[in-house]
Amino acid sequence: MTSAAPPAPASRIRWRRGRVTATGRSWRDALELTAEVAGEGELRALAYPSLVGVPEVGDDVLLNTTALAQGLGTGGYALVVAVPDRLPPDPEGPGHLVKARYTPLQVMVQGVDEQETEHHATIADAEDLGGMPVVVADLHSALPAVLIGMLATDPDLKVAYVMTDGGALPAAFSRTVGALKSSLAGVVTVGQAYGGDLEAVTLHTGLLAARHVLGADLAIVTQGPGNLGTGTPWGFSGVAAGEACNAVSVLGGVPVGALRISDADPRPRHRGVSHHSLTAFGRVALGGVTLVAPRGLSSELGGQVDEDLASQPERNTIVWVDTDGLDTALGLSPVPLSTMGRGYPEERAYFLAAAAAGRYAALQVPVDPETVLAAAKTEGTAPGE
């Protein structure tokens, strides 16, 4: 006799009505504002104008304050669900990809891989990534450091960011992405994530779009801002980093793992090389991945990095990369470097490891023989001349 299944846990949203008392800074598709909530005072809130319109002072707004009340990863914001007395116009234009599907805030976008888009044939015909190196990181906070490592190595490289849906779903939530826009070939949002320059159904088509539509030499894959972890071996959103490496391998790219290394995190499971990296890259990435560690860092951490990486399977290659100039480049970052509330240089090991992965990937970019020949002719050193 089987026992009855337990009742499904209740999903809860903490709803509030507020009135906009001030608007603040804006970036990409995000607007900060202040809303007065009866009995609770003023709350800092965030609206996505493409979804809810542009709230103005005096507007009544419907707010979701669930994560804010729990002190969770919304950056300290209540989220504007609607401006009920002044709804935005109905959307127009192509696209039938629904993201955040079957939630009250599902959104319609045009996917780079759907039939009506001008890029459909390109994605349909794309067979692989042509050896494109792809740096995969656990946390969104690694993005600027990886990019710095790439561009400090070769400033002419075209780099695409492929954002997965393990953290924030709207790309607009990331001020980092907004600030780095001029340094990126483009942003591709995949899965349930949305708001990139290109939208894709899967990570696979997102990677193909980065290569064949954006023309990227390199790509960076991380989840959006925010990370869900439970303190259990498998219960963290960063486990998807291993699946991302599998996608890169299947598509003929070169997966490069940006290790999460720390000597500042108070939690033992994240000291040295985090168990997140060891699990995602060592147990989930079945096609093998190159794991990059900054040269000299292991001695600074008492040999712990070497010890932690010794357990990696043979299919993973460990490389130690020189970091000359990377500390200086990280210190000049165009965006604040911060992870888990700690900045650079407090978390130097973490950001240096991410930058080293970017440097290694930049050095693996396939060389186009025609480009080399053209450069040689310009310099008058081409063969036979």
Q: Please choose, from the candidates 58, 55, 37, 57, the residue with its C-alpha nearest in 3D space to the C-alpha of residue 46.
A: 55
Residue 372, pLDDT above cutoff 50:
no
Give the whole-angstrom CA distance, residue 198 versus residue 377: 37
Residue 91, SS3?
coil
Instruction: For residue 192, count other CB atoms closer than 10 A to its CB.
Output: 16
Domain 120-363 has CATH 3.40.50: yes
Q: What is the pTM of this model?
A: 0.90
Note the pLDDT of residue 383: 44
pLDDT at position 301, please?
76
289 vs 136: CA distance, rounded Å? 10
pLDDT of residue 384: 43
When pLDDT is averaged across residues 350-365 and rounded to a whole number, the result is 97
- Can you give the pLDDT at residue 223? 97
For the chain, the average pLDDT equals 90
Closest by Cα among 335, 148, 133 to 249: 133
Task: Give the residue among 52, 74, 61 at the shortest CA–CA distance from 18.
Answer: 61
Q: How many CB atoms neighbour CB 366 within 10 A? A: 11
Q: How large is the average pLDDT for residues 130-159?
A: 97
The CATH class of the 15-82 domain is mainly beta
- pLDDT band at 193; cut points 50, 70, 90: very high
Note the pLDDT of residue 91. Answer: 84
> Tens of pLDDT along 30-74?
999 999 999 999 999 999 999 999 999 999 999 999 888 887 765
Mean pLDDT of 331-346: 91
pLDDT level of residue 10 (50, 70, 90 thresholds): low
Sequence spans of domains, the chain: 15-82, 120-363
Radius of gyration in angstroms for the set of CA atoms belonging to the chain, rounded to a whole number: 22
Query: Where residue 3 falls among pLDDT bands split at 50, 70, 90?
Result: low
* H or E element at residue 219: strand 218-223
> Can you give the pLDDT at residue 48?
96
Continuous H helices in 135-225? 143-153, 175-180, 203-212
pLDDT tens readout for residues 249-291? 999 999 999 999 988 777 877 777 998 999 999 999 999 999 9
CB 277 within 8 A of CB 305: no
Residue 236 has pLDDT above 80, yes or no: yes
**In this predicted structure, which of 13-17, 59-63, 136-140, 341-345 has the lowest mean pLDDT?**
341-345
Please state the rounded mean pLDDT for residues 92-96: 83
The SS3 of residue 60 is strand
- Lowest mean pLDDT across 256-260, 322-326, 374-378: 374-378
CA-CA distances (angstroms) from residue 270 to 165, 260, 308?
22, 8, 11
